[in-house]
Amino acid sequence: MKRKKKGNIFKQERTRIFKDDRHDPYQRTQKLPDPTLCPSCGSIFTKGRWTWESIEFVDNEKLCPACQRIQDNYPAGYIEVEGSFFQSHKEELLNLIRNLEKKKTEQHPLERIITISESDGKMIITTTGMHLPKMIGDALKSSYEGDLDISYDAESMARVHWTR
């Protein structure tokens, strides 16, 4: 067994680290005071993240990014569901989507559905986060097969299109 020599520590240059050029207007540049309450949904910012924890005394209030997106109607994700299967199984698909949202939101308060609308024979769902659309698209594909297309825009936005 060889021993490592002391003093030979690899240091990576800071200029080589990946720089993300995407801009999310809802990403805060400064940390909020701990704890902070969202007056709209009741989530708490503590230990560096938004949670559903209950804390007895919270002195600070600030809208969470999800509530801010809902208020501004500025979604981070779009899901389009269409096809003849959608037309004949609307309720079943909606139940699946609502159950997935509930499951995801229990652990991640910033992942919520903003709106569910129907136009031109397709359902359009907007979300506050980028992860929920992918989760819904993957669940539709694994449960009902069909064609799934997932893309991410440069504006930190997820677009999911499912057809069957």
pLDDT, tens digit, for every residue of 32-79? 888 999 999 999 999 889 999 988 888 899 999 999 999 999 999 999
Nearest Cα neighbor of 51 from 35, 29, 33, 73 is: 35
- Enter the pTM of the model: 0.80
Query: What is the rounded average pLDDT of the residues 87-91?
Result: 92
Burial bucket for residue 136 (CB in 10 Å: 0-12, 13-18, 19+): buried
